[in-house]
Amino acid sequence: MIGNQDIGDTLGTRTAALAFMNGVSNGWYPGDFTDWHARDLRASGRLRPSCDEGPVDFVEPGVGRVSLVDDLSDLPLRARLETMARLFLGVVSAHTRVLTALRGLVASHRVDFVQNAYHAGRLVRTRQELGWYVALGPDDALSECVLALFAADYLNHSEDYLHGMGVCRHCGRIRFGKGLRFRTLCDFHGSQWLAHQQRVLPSRGHIAGGAAVHTDTRL
């Protein structure tokens, strides 16, 4: 629960958020998402449980409320397919919303998602006031839960986001580290872009003095 959380939780929010983003990008199965939801939201104490005794679920704008079923094989075929489709749609929609917010941060240092999480009460100072942790409600959208994880990490480690974060505009890969060659391309797509530039630029005319193609970290 919230009262038991302390500075230790501020160290795991990035790991939890990246686990969701990378998992969806890599093609999570329903059970993979259910395990993440149980481990990184519920068991961690970040997500406050619902007052009723109904099944565990999540909500996402445009999709609605989606139940998390422990064993999909227990459902009749039609119900199983419908549940899987809604879960897939909700998870992918959340992934897209989060990716859009992070790309906005990289492109223009927009931190709307941090401000939104703070004003919605999803970010709370630790008892020692040395950092921030996440406090989520059962009706918070899945995308807002993941964005709150990133928002807490941003407040605890803002320099990593402002100067050491990259989000590939092609594959959506998220990276942290100093000296990134590109901010909006991963290493693979960045190498492809450089190879393309090296092929195209000579065809536009000789470059005076044989000037090399420079890497722009804003790309």
Residues 136 and 215 in one domain: no
What is the domain extent for residue 197? 181-219
Residues 215 and 144 in one domain: no
The whole-number average pLDDT for the span 34-40 is: 96
Residues 145 and 158 in one domain: yes
Query: Could you tell me the pLDDT band of residue 89, with boundaries at 50, 70 and 90?
Result: very high
Structural domain total, the chain: 2
Residues 97 and 199 in one domain: no
The whole-number average pLDDT for the span 188-202 is: 67
Residues 62 and 165 in one domain: yes
Is residue 123 within 8 A of residue 9, CB to CB? The reply is no
The pLDDT of residue 189:
66
Residues 10 and 102 in one domain: yes
When mean pLDDT is compared over 4-13, 17-26, 65-74, 163-172, the highest value belongs to: 17-26
Burial class (CB in 10 A: 0-12, 13-18, 19+), 130: exposed
Residues 153 and 187 in one domain: no
Count how many residues are written for the chain.
Answer: 219
191 vs 185: CA distance, rounded Å: 9
Residues 169 and 193 in one domain: no
The pLDDT of residue 190:
57
Helix (H, G, I), strand (E, B) or coil at 47: strand
| Predicted confidence (pLDDT) per residue in 49-68, tens digit | 887 666 789 999 999 999 99
Residues 160 and 189 in one domain: no
Kindly report whether the global pTM for this prediction surpasses the value 0.75.
Answer: yes
Residues 62 and 153 in one domain: yes
Residues 133 and 190 in one domain: no
| Predicted confidence (pLDDT) per residue in 143-168, tens digit | 999 999 999 999 999 999 988 899 99
The pLDDT of residue 213:
40
